[in-house]
Structure 1
Amino acid sequence: MIADQCLTDKNYFQAFLIKTDSSGKLLWERDFRKKNFDAALDVSTDSSRSIFLTSYSWKDDSQSLWLALLDQSGKTVWRNRS
């Protein structure tokens, strides 16, 4: 599992998450497109293989942290912004 951010063609950062198998083959990828700057901070899983992603967002003078819960296939279950 890899969480990071990339610079888009609109000149802002976008958080993304990818999952690979043990040989490095891509299983799925998810991005979190927004019209602000998002930087993935950390990714973790629990014993039921749920995925937790933390990220930092900023736009103009506003900054926030958010936490997302994804299922094993990468679908967002919920997302909470502080």
Structure 2
Amino acid sequence: MKELERVRWRCRRGLLELDIVLGRFIEQHYANLNKAQQAAFDTLLDMPDPTLWDMITNTRPSPLQSERCAVLVLLQAV
């Protein structure tokens, strides 16, 4: 449970749209991710807001490995 609280805290961003998407992602998908996908999501959260938002909205190409790419696809579906 502490891990989920930590991730929720990290999802609080300076960009409102990103807050909304990440919050919905946590509610809808995070519990079903495997450890590798959770780590990939954590890596995505390390990115600056504009970069992450551009990747989610598909306005910036994503040179990510498969686990991160799978998580990104789920984020784009939210």
Answer whether TM exceeds 0.5 for this pair. no
> Relative contact order: is structure 1 or structure 2 higher (C-alpha 8 Å, sep ≥ 6)?
2
TM-score by length of 1: 0.31
**Of the two, which has the highest radius of gyration?**
1
Q: Which structure: greater strand fraction?
A: 1
